[in-house]
Amino acid sequence: MTKSITLYHNPRCSKSRQALALLQAQGVEPRIVRYLEEPLNAATLREILQKLQLSARELLRGNERIARERSLHRPELSEEELIAAMIEEPRLIQRPIAVCGHQAILGRPPEQVLKLL
C-alpha cells in the first residue's frame, strides 16, 4: 500500500523540487500544497509544527529579508507571534515539508523526506 504524503512545496525552491523528485522516483505521487498560493492557517501550521517536533522559531526562515525587516530574530517574540508572522508571510516557512499521518519531515536535505516511506 502506497503511503499518502502531503508535500508543502514551493516549485521555485531547488530543495523542494529535489524532494518531490525523490518521492516520485520511489513511486510516490504526493498531494502537493503550494503553500505560497494556498496559505496555511494557524491551526494547520501548529499541527505541522507538532508533527515536526519543532518550534516556530526553528521553522522560520530567519535569513529572509522580511524576517530581518520585521526583527523576527528577537528572542522575546512568542511562538504565537512567530506563527502569525509565517501565516501572514508564508515565504518565511522553511521548505519543503512532507507530512504522512502523524509524522512530518523538513526536507533539508531533501533526502530526509524518504524517511517517511
Output the nine-digit C-alpha cell for 72.
Answer: 523576527
What pLDDT, in 10s, does the model give residues 37-92? 998 999 999 999 999 999 999 999 999 999 999 999 999 999 999 999 999 999 99
Written out in words, the top-level CATH class of the domain with range 6-116 is alpha beta
User: Reading across the β-sheet that carries 31-33, which strands appear in turn?
Assistant: 31-33, 6-8, 97-100, 103-106
Residue 1 has what pLDDT?
Answer: 46
Which phi and psi (to 5°) does residue 103 adopt? Answer: -115, 150
Cell of 74: 528577537
Whether pTM exceeds 0.75: yes
What's residue 2's pLDDT? 59
Which residues are catalytic, by number?
13
Q: Are 61 and 37 in contact (CB under 8 A)?
A: no
